[in-house]
Structure 1
Amino acid sequence: MTTLEEYPSVSLHNVAETVPADWTDEGDRLHRLPADVAAELNEMADDRVRHPTGSELRFVPERDDAEIEVTLSADEPGELHVFWGGFQPWKPTEIGPEPTTLTLSVPERLRKLDADLDGRYDPRVCRICFERVPAVAVHDVRGDCRPPEPGELPDTRYLAYGTSITEGAAASADHLNYVSRAARELGWDPLNFGCSGSAYADPPMGEYVAERDDWDVATLALSINMANQDFPVEEFEARAEAFVETVAEAHPDEPIVCITLFPYYPDVIEGGDAGRAEAYRETLRAIVADTDHPDISVVEGRELTDVSGYTADILHPGDAGMESIGRSLARELDERVE
């Protein structure tokens, strides 16, 4: 959780820092990684972590009738979703380069809610949830509100690293990707560090994940991007082993689950290089088998879903595929986390 000096009444989830936005005046652009770390990644990953996949602006109104004004902009037209606790909005909110002010207060029926809900979030936690695109900046927050307290949020934080599949590139919304779905099934709070097209297990990313002390369980999906970009299996092995060891050595008591390649087109199309895909899977299995860290395990990506719920590229899971992965992964993680 990040709290900015300029906006002490809210918290920023899955946001490492802000920098001045370059498409508007006086806006603070949300970054998932610090800019100095992002600059050390490959070029595409550098760009992706400057987008707010899974990022949220959170607050609790001091009174149910308090009106909170949040002013935001984006580098291109897009959408966001305003949740109250786990309650989904009727429709998304549009956002674009011109700063837009949202006026928010606790919805009328939630003010009268007397049921004892077993939800991840207190229903009075307002969660402005951002998407994989566009890039977003905060301009202003006004009104009588405060950051959520620990008791109003999930106890367990789940960090996920991976490719565009982890980022949810083909999901209809961020809350429908497999990371969000698994977290919801388990009652956890997700931290999404997916890097579309660029999850190359860059050492600075591994070091950054290792240095963070705010997660309880992690999944590392390694990595269809490297297979598709023709990284030799030997280079994948070196990068993946170093990445896994770096994270594990810093977190000896946290469960770390490595996910082998999800099923995708080489496995099912005529002339696909299924042997190469299997070599990647076997390499990751061997890395985990050879480590001396007891809390590392492997989940087989092909056991989490089949390709029937994918988009027509037979690479990216659509909503049905994301649902399958999320539910299956949640069962696997539940068995590994005490």
Structure 2
Amino acid sequence: MIHDEFPTVSLHNVTETDIADWTGRTTGGHRLCRVPSSVRSAVNVAARERLRHPSGCELRFVPRGDDETISVTLSAPAETVVRPFWGEFQGAETHTLTATPTTLEFSVPERVRRLESAVAATSAFDPRVCRLRFDAWVPVAVHDVAGDCRPPTEAQRPARRYLAYGTSITEGASATAGHLTYVSRIARAVGADALNLGVAGAAYCEPAIADYIAGEDWDVATLAVSVNMANRGFTLEQFRTRAGALVDAVAGTNPDRPVVCVTLFPYHADACRDDDVERAIEFRTALREIVDGSAHENVSLVEGPEVMAATDLTTDLLHPGDAGMAAIAEGLSPVIRNRFEA
């Protein structure tokens, strides 16, 4: 989106901003939100808050000259970091944000200025696009942007968009950085722009989120649902009804766009003594049957246990670590690439 107060930059994976209540109304600050308030108000309370976290969000700009210095003022209610990328080149430094607005300065790195055109052409992003990338777990607000810059053009960013809905695994829990989530890794591997709609602890396949995803602009979507429903007391029939409605809404509204459903990744139910492995099996079977019975030809299925092993989890035996995120990306990227090329 292009924000009225910051027309020289674009806010990616952001649909609107909210008051940054940690700074007070007098000091301003626009908190990044991934979906509109009309959607947030229609989902569960936990999801409302998660969707106001900047998972996969970016602030992007292109300096109008290589010698230009662009200043961006940001804040966060607790300590977090922002990672600058230039196109797909990762910046050498990270920057720490706190509740006190901090002004950061950026200019095109010296060696990026001298890139051979053949090298630059291999990137889905133009290397002169500065991408300030935010982690998932602390809100972020934009206060000011100064300097001679503009938003990236369509030609300077990926032509295709990959949307991912799911739980904290999709949002990126236990990945050591936002660009190491499976969503970000897949997007890089297939040359797409990622829209991360992971909702930690609250991916309940609600009608409002189904309708929102159905109406968004994307080229391929993955629906990794939902260990939250398996762990939070939903009945199998409730899951079947909600997941079925989600698939029907997203795929039915977009018959020419591929929708890839992903069954539960391995987790403690599969791996620990005295856990409920039958429930995990039943939830996977339910999603499999939803896909098998779908009237929509654009729907397909990937089995979560086929793309990641239980040993790729962290010690909570729920969230993939960096190895697990890499494994999921390695397993799903060819599927998504094939859907793009079909």
TM-score, reference length from structure 2? 0.97
Structure 2 residue identity aligned to 1:218: A
Q: Which residue of 2 aligns with 1:18?
A: 17
Match of 2:3 in 1: 4
Alignment map for 1:71-110 (pairs within 5 Å): 71-110=73-112
Counterpart check, 1:140 vs 2:137: no
User: Superposed, which structure 2 residues align to 1:75-224 within 5 Å?
Assistant: 75-117=77-119, 118-212=122-216, 214-224=217-227
Cα distance in 2 for residues equivalent to 1:89 and 1:335: 31
| Residue 242 (structure 2) pairs with residue 243 (structure 1) | no
Q: Indicate the residue corresponding to 1:295 in structure 2.
A: 298
CA distance in 2, matches of 1:195, 1:68: 32
Q: Does 1:47 align with 2:49?
A: yes
The structure 1 residue matched to 2:257, chosen from 251, 254, 257, is 254
Q: In structure 2, what is the Cα distance between the partners aligned to 1:321 and 1:291?
A: 29
After TM superposition, the structure 1 stretch with the greater mean CA deviation from structure 2, 173-182 or 19-28, is 19-28
1:93 and 1:40 map into 2 onto residues whose CA distance is: 35
Q: Which residue does 1:265 correspond to in 2?
A: 268
Separation in 2 of the partners of 1:221 and 1:112? 41
**Greater mean alpha carbon deviation, residues 97-106 or residues 114-123:** 114-123
Query: CA contact under 8 A between 2:10 and 2:152: conserved in structure 1?
Result: yes
Kindly report structure 1 stretches of 4+ aligned residues shifted beyond 4 Å.
Answer: none
Which deviations, in whole Å up to 9, do the C-alpha atoms of 1:217-271 show, x marking residues without a partner? Answer: 0000010000011211000000101111111121111000000000111111111
Which residue of structure 1 lines up, in the alignment, with residue 236 of structure 2? 233
Per-residue CA distance 1:299-334 (angstroms, 9 max, x = gap): 000111101121101110000110011111101222
Q: C-alpha separation between the residues in 1 aligned to 2:32 and 2:297? A: 36
- Tell me which moved more, 328-337 or 78-87: 328-337
Question: For residues 91 and 184 of structure 1, what CA distance do their matches in structure 2 show?
Answer: 20
Q: 1:62 aligns with which of 61, 64, 76?
A: 64
Alignment partners' CA distance in 2, 1:157 and 1:257: 14
Q: Which amino acid aligns with 1:61?
A: P
Gaps of 5+ in 2: none
Q: Distance in 2 between matches of 1:5 and 1:182?
A: 31
Q: Structure 1: 5+ residue runs without aligned partners?
A: none
What is the CA RMSD across the aligned residues, in angstroms?
Answer: 0.9
SS of the equivalent of 2:261 reads: strand
Aligned pairs, number: 336
User: When the two structures are superposed, what TM-score results if normalisation uses the length of structure 1?
Assistant: 0.98
Provide the identity percentage. 51
Cα deviation for residue 115 of structure 1 reads 4.6
Maintained 8 Å contact 2:220/2:339: no
* AA partner of residue 113 (structure 2): R
Give the counterpart letter for 1:90 in structure 2.
Answer: A
Among 32, 35, 43, the alignment partner of 2:34 is 32
